[in-house]
Amino acid sequence: MEVYSWSDIIQFYNIDKKKVPRLAPKLKDQHIQLPPFSPMRVCLATQTFSHTVSSAMFTLISNNLMNSKALYTAKFMKIIDDLFDVFNSCSFDEPKIFRKPLTINSKHWICLNVSYEILTKLEIQNANKKNSHHVLVAGFQILIPSVKMLRLTQDCVKSLFSVVRAKGGNNVAPDSSKFYSAIRMCVTQQLLVPLTSGNCEIEACEFLTKCNDLLKNKQI
């Protein structure tokens, strides 16, 4: 059974930070242990689950500086890095294969199929040693089929966030609790309607439903 462990990443960092030059120079203490009240930054995840860190772990393992079991973690980090590249593909001039746009015969589809199969079978254990389904895995399981069906678009998300931001007033960077309160306010008041001054076109669909409809369906 393959085990992907965060402790392998910690072990790698403790070894690498003492080296000159370092194999993964972008990896810092905040990547391993996020300080309290720190803002959510995607770059911390992308820099941790990156090709650089994965290759560096392979190097230490091949030189017997890390346990061979960490090989599974290094492979998993490479899979996540490939997924990040697929979802951010933009130009044919990109040096990395998965950063190039998707085509009918591109290798992106093999990557998506393999990743989806691994994530579907993945079991995450929390501190209490109980299996739990992590929201990150669930998010990837939604995104991968969306890409395969060519239904991935940012317009709906941008329109939704424009409505939520309008409820926040001067707070342009709300935390999770304020975002939760703002979106609940939008749902209970009326149908979400994007701002006319936004930079997104109006979709021919509804974001959410009215509170009265929810009451009729006894869903709240």
Q: What is the pLDDT of residue 120?
A: 86
CA 94 to chain centroid: 21
Alpha helices in the chain (DSSP H): 6-16, 29-32, 42-48, 51-62, 70-87, 108-121, 135-148, 155-167, 176-189, 211-216
Q: What is the pLDDT of residue 94?
A: 84
CA 74 to chain centroid: 18
| R_g (Cα) of the chain, nearest Å | 21
Q: What is the pLDDT of residue 57?
A: 96
Q: pLDDT tens across 73-104, in order? A: 999 999 999 998 888 877 788 888 888 888 88
Q: What is the pLDDT of residue 172?
A: 67
| Pairwise CA distance, residues 9 & 74, whole Å | 9
Tell me the sheet residues that pair with 125. 131
Q: What is the pLDDT of residue 147?
A: 73
16 half-sphere exposure, CB direction, 13 A CA radius: 26
String of DSSP letters for 14-39: HHHTTSSS-SSTT--HHHHSPPTTPP
| Pairwise CA distance, residues 89 & 77, whole Å | 18
Residues of the chain whose pLDDT is less than 70? Answer: 126-136, 148-156, 169-172, 189-220
The tokens describing 136, both together, are 């990150």
Q: What is the pLDDT of residue 164?
A: 78
